[in-house]
Amino acid sequence: MLISKRAQKVSPSQTLKITSEIKKMKKDNKPVINFAAGEPDFDTPEKIKEAAYEAIKGGFTKYTPVSGTHELRESISAKFKKSNNLDYSSNQIIVSNGAKQALFNALLVILNPGDEVIIMAPYWLSYTEMVKLADGVPVIIDADKENGFRPKFDDIEKKITSQTKCIILNTPTNPTGMVWSKSELEQLSEIVLKHKILVISDEIYEHLIYEDSHISIGALSKDILSRTITVNGVSKSFSMTGWRIGWMGAPYDIAQEVSKIQGQMTSNPCSISQMAAVAALGMDGEWFDYLRNEFKKRRDFMISKLKKLNISFVKPEGAFYLFMDIDCTGLDSFAFAEKLLSEKLIGVIPGVPFGRDDFVRLSYATSINEIEEGIMRIGAFLSV
Ligand SMILES: Cc1ncc(COP(=O)(O)O)c(C=O)c1O
């Protein structure tokens, strides 16, 4: 067999087929409504693009330090302090090709073969596959839909074994939009400290919270900070998914190991994007207000339309996704998504790769008009 066991144990992206069908339909000028998008539909702000043009014109087009430029790491360190109350000095920060690489780097550095990683369902679909690629074992904790999938701490504790190395936390959560409360973060922190494990906190949607404000678990105490790897990036907050800049703040020893392995794998992320990321981190509150208000308007509109149709869903508190319950249809999530696409030209992401086959994920990173038309078509689909 030419293909390694490691490669074989990773599932192919199950959503690729549906997203490529959506793309093809759009290309063929079919009136498809795309609720499948995983990225903001705004353009990257002009100020950020200007910084990239300047980088190119100024010849900033060569290798940079593996962990990112000093300027960018200083900006990230200041941002961690100012908006998250997290103390990570610049030598504890590694800039990577998106938050995705930061997450994968973290797992590669902390996992030995067979180490277990606790993941709470519904979860972002890459976590399980990344853990497997790093020779770890994903341990899934289910939650109740009746309770909006809020964490069940007794269940988490029960699944901790001598092999448990870390827990992955994602707030706001993809795909439900759930935002962890301070008291929930405190309970998780207690578990992490009691069992002397680590937490990887994926905070990529931190600026998209509609009622409360974001709390970083690492800000709760010095003890928990010493066991936390905080992952973030510019993709979702600045509409920069294509620029591929993400980062982690980590305990010093872990950060040094990450730098070592990144140096042998990909070296630094794109120099031009790093300059753009410095400009992004200099954006003022107006941009975040705009982003939040726009998404809040769309979220509220989608919610009001779904309520009128008596469709069950988890009320999103953050990110730009809504997890819709399809249990009453008797279809599994793939069959539902395929049928909805072929019959009503609506693209949604099946819930099964997120750990729930009785749900689908709708993204409201699209216009109010599209949301109105799309939910109307879903209503017609369900009433047949
Ligand atoms: C929860 C979560 N974490 C990380 C990422 C990856 O971010 P990036 O594009 O910066 O790699 C995504 C992207 O969809 C995500 O939803």
pLDDT tens digit string along 42-59? 999 999 999 999 999 999
Please write the tens of the pLDDT for every residue from 205-225. 999 999 989 999 999 999 999
What pLDDT does 37 receive? 87
* Position 37 in a domain: yes
Burial of 147 (0-12, 13-18, 19+ CB in 10 A): exposed
**Contacts of the segment 280-283: beta carbons below 8 A, 24+ positions apart:** 280/45, 280/48, 280/234, 280/237, 280/238, 280/240, 281/72, 281/75, 281/76, 281/78, 281/79, 281/234, 282/47, 282/75, 283/45, 283/47, 283/48, 283/238
* Position 87 in a domain: yes
Q: Determine contact, residues 70/275, Cβ cutoff 8 Å.
A: no
Say how many Å lie between the CA of residue 170 and the centre of ligand 1. 10
CA 238 distance to own-chain centroid? 14
Low-confidence spans in the chain with pLDDT less than 70: 384
32 and 117 share one domain: no
Burial of 277 (0-12, 13-18, 19+ CB in 10 A): buried
**Of the candidates 281, 313, 336, which is a domain's last residue?**
281
Interhelix angle 252-265/98-110, nearest 10 degrees: 110
**Of the candidates 250, 281, 312, which is a domain's last residue?**
281
* Position 119 in a domain: yes
End-to-end Cα separation, the chain, in angstroms:
48
266 and 345 share one domain: no
Say how many Å lie between the CA of residue 381 and the centre of ligand 1. 31
**Running DSSP on this structure, what letter comes out for residue 120?**
E
38 and 66 share one domain: no
What pLDDT does 20 receive? 87
* Position 191 in a domain: yes
106 and 247 share one domain: yes
Q: Does the Cβ of 345 fall within 6 Å of ligand 1? A: no
**Of the candidates 281, 296, 312, which is a domain's last residue?**
281
**In angstroms, rounded to a whole number, what is the distance separating the alpha carbons of residues 154 and 351?**
25
374 and 260 share one domain: no
Q: Does the Cβ of 126 fall within 6 Å of ligand 1? A: no
What the block records as the tokens of 220 is 């709760």
**In angstroms, rounded to a whole number, what is the distance separating the alpha carbons of residues 275 and 61?**
10
194 and 336 share one domain: no
**In angstroms, rounded to a whole number, what is the distance separating the alpha carbons of residues 43 and 124?**
24
* Position 362 in a domain: yes
Phi, psi of 318 (to 5 degrees): -160, -175
Say which CATH number the domain at 303 has: 3.90.1150.10
**In angstroms, rounded to a whole number, what is the distance separating the alpha carbons of residues 203 and 194?**
23
290 and 373 share one domain: yes
In the chain, where do the E strands start and end? 33-34, 93-96, 116-120, 137-141, 164-170, 198-202, 228-233, 246-249, 313-314, 321-325, 346-347, 349-350, 359-363
DSSP 3-state of 262:
helix
Report if pTM > 0.95: yes
* Position 335 in a domain: yes
Say how many Å lie between the CA of residue 39 and the centre of ligand 1. 9
Say how many Å lie between the CA of residue 4 and the centre of ligand 1. 26
Q: Does the Cβ of 99 fall within 6 Å of ligand 1? A: yes
User: Which residue lies with its CA nearest to atom 16 of ligand 1?
Assistant: 174
206 and 294 share one domain: no
114 and 174 share one domain: yes
- Ligand 1 closest atom vs CA 97: 11
User: Which residue lies with its CA nearest to atom 13 of ligand 1?
Assistant: 38
* Position 372 in a domain: yes
Residue with tokens 């990570």: 88
What pLDDT does 119 receive? 98
What pLDDT does 384 receive? 62
Residue ranges making up the domain that contains 90: 62-281
Q: Determine contact, residues 189/220, Cβ cutoff 8 Å.
A: yes
Phi-psi region of 60 (alpha: psi -120 to 50; beta: other; left: phi over 0): beta
**In angstroms, rounded to a whole number, what is the distance separating the alpha carbons of residues 33 and 80?**
37
**In angstroms, rounded to a whole number, what is the distance separating the alpha carbons of residues 20 and 16?**
6
What pLDDT does 174 receive? 97
Interhelix angle 46-57/271-281, nearest 10 degrees: 140
Say how many Å lie between the CA of residue 275 and the centre of ligand 1. 20
Say which CATH number the domain at 235 has: 3.40.640.10
* Position 11 in a domain: yes
129 and 24 share one domain: no
**In angstroms, rounded to a whole number, what is the distance separating the alpha carbons of residues 188 and 160?**
12
Q: Does the Cβ of 246 fall within 6 Å of ligand 1? A: yes
Best substitution site from 235, 270, 320, 349 to test ligand 1's pocket, by max atoms within 8 Å of Cβ?
235
Q: How many domains does the chain have?
A: 2
- Ligand 1 closest atom vs CA 102: 11
242 and 150 share one domain: yes
23 and 80 share one domain: no
**In angstroms, rounded to a whole number, what is the distance separating the alpha carbons of residues 149 and 270?**
38
Of 141, 135, 249, 153, nearest to 201 by C-alpha is 249
